[in-house]
Amino acid sequence: MPPHTRVLIIGSGPAAHTAAIYLSRAELKPVLYEGMLANGIAAGGQLTTTTDVENYPGFAQGVGGTELMEAMRAQSARFGTEIRTETVARVDFSARPFRAWVEDEEENAAITADAVIIATGASARRLDLRGEDKYWQNGISACAVCDGAVPIFRQKPLVVIGGGDSAAEEAMFLTKYGKSVTVLVRKDHLRASKTMAKRLLANPKVDVRFNTVATEVVGEDGPRGLMTGLKVKDVRSDGDGKEEVLQANGLFYAVGHDPATKMFRGIVDMDEDGYILTKPGTSYTNVEGVFAAGDVQDKRYRQAITSAGMESLFPPSNMYIHLTNKTGSGCIAALEAEKFLAEQDDIEDVPDGIRDNDDSNTKQAEKATQNGDTAAAAPEYRRNPILAETSKGSKV
């Protein structure tokens, strides 16, 4: 028989492991498929591509991104999450139990689940410049908010590539730490909103270079050599096409992110960029019993470690808040999945004759709510003796 689980979690980042911790502590025995280099990234997600995380509470000396994810994984396993390294390649959410298949599995070898949490994340777009792989995280980053305060960038000349709102925001953020910030824009204008563009161009520490592209990252030799410069050229037809080298100790990409949602297309609702649409303030997708958490549903900021769900409460000002948002999103998905499963169990336990009276029960619950009787209004309150007693007039 193919394996069955109450909750299947697809993903391996902070959102996935936070959901796993909550669900395993609730005795729901979740199964988490972290993937084998899924989307070209090691298990643990985007944090495994970063260096030090310096402002996450509890780590006075900072913590490596990979080390932090290893700790989250260990915590998930400690509470009973079954973690599998295979990569989920295909799903079927047309009926419950939901089905999923790992890579190269036969049709009859589907994993089945009563609920699914999608936490597959998003990856920052790269430009494939010469020297990019060598100096990635040794001067090159796709997240200014995450890495901008790292010592190697302080009081150094920095470069941002991009012309939209994200590029403008990141460039202005970097002025807090860098000596200067140069913004490279391929076109002859900014795509950013008028307000953001005006603010960027007025900043004395920012130099915007239009019609300019990067061609190569240069720097120190050796396995841990740092970036020291960036070759750029003018792309205008009347330009001479010659390259020049800008002194730069940091290069930040602000050219967007790609959500890892390809296998869910046509199955759950998405926006035009492939981000999963959820009911505002929740992790609910359009498929009942399927939830989304983390960067896979985060379009507003599109940072490597941001998450929807709490973004309206916390602006993206530092790594702690980004991680708080992401873990908060995983927590929300877990609690909502747990509630969903509890409601399904309640329905299955109700005899057929009583189940026919659902409309009458709904009306009674609505009336109870209007009268302030919360215990009668919600089944989960009736199961909670403290809330039940409170609803009868006793003081807590």
- Stretch (H or E) spanning 314: none
Give 53-89 pLDDT, tens digit per residue.
Answer: 776 678 888 888 788 889 999 999 999 999 999 999 9
String of DSSP letters for 270-289: B-TTSPBP--TTS-B-SSTT
Residue appearing with tokens 């307000």: 195
Q: Rounded CA gap, 167 and 196, in Å?
A: 10
Closest alpha carbon to 132 in 38, 262, 230, 33:
230
Active site residue 331: no
Give the pLDDT confidence score for residue 346 in this predicted structure: 78
pLDDT at position 60 is 84
Give the span between the Cα atoms of 110 and 90, in whole angstroms.
Answer: 9
Of 143, 295, 298, 331, which is the active-site residue? 143
Q: What is the mean pLDDT of the chain?
A: 81
Q: Which of 114, 147, 295, 298 is catalytic?
A: 147
pLDDT band at residue 318 under the 50/70/90 scheme: very low
For 100-152, the pLDDT digits (tens) are 999 887 777 899 999 999 999 888 889 999 999 999 989 999 888 878 888 99
How many angstroms separate the Cα of 329 from the Cα of each of 84, 289, 294?
A: 22, 16, 6
Q: Which of 146, 295, 298, 331 is catalytic?
A: 146
* pTM: predicted TM-score of the whole model, two decimal places: 0.72
- Beta strands (DSSP E) in 128-286 are 140-141, 157-161, 180-185, 206-210, 212-219, 227-234, 243-247, 250-253, 257-259
The pLDDT score that the predictor gives to residue 202 is 97
Residue 335 has pLDDT above 90, yes or no: yes
146 given a catalytic annotation? yes
Task: Check whether 169 has a pLDDT greater than 70.
Answer: yes
Q: Is 345 a catalytic residue?
A: no
- Residue 385: pLDDT above 80? no
User: Is residue 156's pLDDT more than 90?
Assistant: yes
pLDDT at 161: 97
Provide the pLDDT for residue 380.
Answer: 40
Strand partners, 159: 182, 251
The least confident of 70-74, 202-206, 225-229, 312-316 is 312-316
- How far apart, in Å, are the Cα atoms of 353 and each of 214, 357, 377? 71, 8, 21
14-36 pLDDT tens trace? 899 999 999 999 999 999 999 87
Cα 120 to Cα 113: distance, rounded to the nearest angstrom: 17
Give tens-digit pLDDT for 86-99: 999 999 999 999 99
3-class secondary structure, 99: strand
What pLDDT does 106 receive?
74
Question: What is the per-residue pLDDT for 117?
Answer: 98
Binning pLDDT at 50, 70 and 90, where does residue 200 land? very high
Q: Which of 4-18, 158-172, 336-350, 370-384 has the lowest mean pLDDT?
A: 370-384
Residue 2: pLDDT band by 50, 70, 90 thresholds? low
364-382: average pLDDT: 46
Supply 367's token pair: 């009336």
